[in-house]
Amino acid sequence: MKPINLLALLCLATTLGCFGSGSDLQFGEVQGKVTLEGKPLPYATVRFQPTNGRPSYGKTDESGEYALKFKGQEVGALVGQHSVAITTEDRIENPETGESRWQKEILPPKYNSETTLSAVVEPGENVFNFDLDERKKK
């Protein structure tokens, strides 16, 4: 019976260690505005990908403003260096009919799949505005 108790103790210690490491994460609140050719870019997805760890996401509203969330619940992004990707490609679902359609990408790869955008998130409040100057060439 002792080997089972030892195994149970080891599993419990491992599980608690995993939960404890989550509290060591530092976050900064992140918000801002995305414009394209001087006009607000609505309904774009903004992703902050840290060097190590999970990304944070936000969606621009009609005025191009966004706020990031981490894992869908916590506000913000991990503190540190991030590559930033902005995309307009998305599946849009009509809640009334359940029908969905794809919204096409209007931004060039330098803003998403081959992003050249970056940001450093600090503890506290962060504001990152992105003034995109080019549409995807057809």
Name the residue type at position 30.
Answer: V
**Rounded to two decimals, what is the model's pTM?**
0.77
All structural domains of the chain, each given as residue ranges with its CATH number in brackets, are 26-132 (2.60.40.10)
Rounded alpha-carbon distances, angstroms, from residue 118 to 21, 27, 46, 75, 130: 26, 17, 12, 19, 10
Collapsed DSSP state (helix, strand, coil) of residue 9: helix
Tell me how far apart the alpha carbons of residues 3 and 11 are, in angstroms, rounded to a whole number. 12
* β-strand partners of 75: 69
Going residue by residue through the chain (138 aa), what tens digit of pLDDT does each one get? 444 444 444 443 433 344 334 458 899 999 999 999 999 999 999 999 999 999 999 999 999 999 999 987 778 999 999 999 999 998 877 778 888 888 899 999 999 999 999 999 999 999 999 999 999 887
